[in-house]
């Protein structure tokens, strides 16, 4: 089955072919008052719109929906976000080959990437380890190159004393995480390979991330999440009006 990106490229190519054929070969007939059939007129009219959509989605920004709670409290299930597609370099659609270097992920970035074990799926996590970093997770605290990333307890999550919201300092980048006090610690040590990134969910005890399936290869990066443009309340229905327009940090 074609995914949306592949389908969009195919439709752009087909409508573009009809548009080009029409521009090069049918101008004279139109001057004589010849009426084009629908299968020429429709693709010719749609091509500019579809081309703009392809360019924006491939090289500027792409919308995604958050399906799970692995990034609570930063992102909630039902959030619709925008991802900066040029933050980590421009890539060809479908082939994903990078043709222009722009930047690299920094520690603390919230990134969308193709799941290493099934590239047809998109995942979103936070980068905590850069190439060459030594990562250790012990007693629900993160260590990078032997240095503990400080945490400050803020409050209970939804008045549940077993789930706490903490603010973590990733080398000067502060963000919030969720810790389930009674969940297993899942301690581990790992060195991040070159051209790879170690990613973890902010909902530390409810996230399938690099602790389970390994690092994110550089070629799997899709872009950096930067904005919540819509948020749907999955529990009560309706919109989370206060979340619309939130900058993702």
Say how far apart CA 56 and CA 63 lie, in whole Å: 10
The residue from 70, 164, 196, 231 that is catalytic is 70
Say how far apart CA 32 and CA 64 lie, in whole Å: 48
Instruction: Provide the token pair at 99.
Output: 């043709």
Say how far apart CA 228 and CA 120 lie, in whole Å: 23
Say how far apart CA 105 and CA 219 lie, in whole Å: 12
Instruction: Provide the token pair at 122.
Output: 């998109």
125 carries an active-site annotation? yes
CA distances from 74 to 196, 201, 203 (A): 23, 10, 9
The residue from 32, 58, 68, 125 that is catalytic is 125
Give the three-class secondary structure for 227: strand
- The DSSP secondary structure of 150-186, one letter per residue, reads -EEEEEEETTEEEEEEEEEEETTEEEEEEEETTS---
> Catalytic residue numbers?
70, 125
């Amino acid at each position: 089955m074609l995914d949306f990106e592949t389908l969009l490229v195919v439709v752009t190519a087909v409508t573009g072919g009809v548009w080009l054929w029409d521009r090069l070969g049918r101008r004279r007939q139109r001057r004589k008052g010849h009426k084009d059939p629908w299968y020429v007129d429709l693709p010719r009219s749609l091509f500019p719109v579809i081309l703009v959509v392809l360019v924006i989605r491939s090289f500027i920004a792409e919308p995604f929906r958050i399906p799970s709670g692995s990034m609570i409290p930063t992102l909630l299930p039902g959030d619709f976000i925008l991802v900066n597609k040029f933050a980590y370099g421009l890539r060809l659609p479908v082939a994903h080959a990078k043709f222009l270097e722009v930047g690299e992920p920094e520690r603390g970035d919230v990134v969308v990437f193709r799941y290493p074990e099934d590239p047809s799926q998109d995942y979103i996590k936070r980068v905590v380890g850069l190439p060459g970093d030594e990562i250790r997770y012990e007693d629900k605290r993160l260590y990078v190159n032997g240095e503990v990333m400080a945490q400050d307890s803020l409050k209970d999550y939804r008045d549940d004393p077993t789930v706490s919201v903490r603010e973590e300092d990733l080398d000067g980048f502060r963000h919030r995480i969720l810790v389930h006090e009674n969940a297993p610690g899942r301690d581990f040590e790992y060195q991040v390979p070159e051209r790879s990134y170690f990613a973890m969910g902010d909902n530390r005890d409810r996230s399938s991330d690099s602790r389970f399936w390994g690092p994110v290869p550089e070629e799997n990066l899709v872009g950096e999440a930067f904005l919540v443009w819509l948020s749907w309340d999955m529990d009560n229905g309706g919109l989370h009006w206060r979340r619309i327009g939130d900058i993702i940090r």
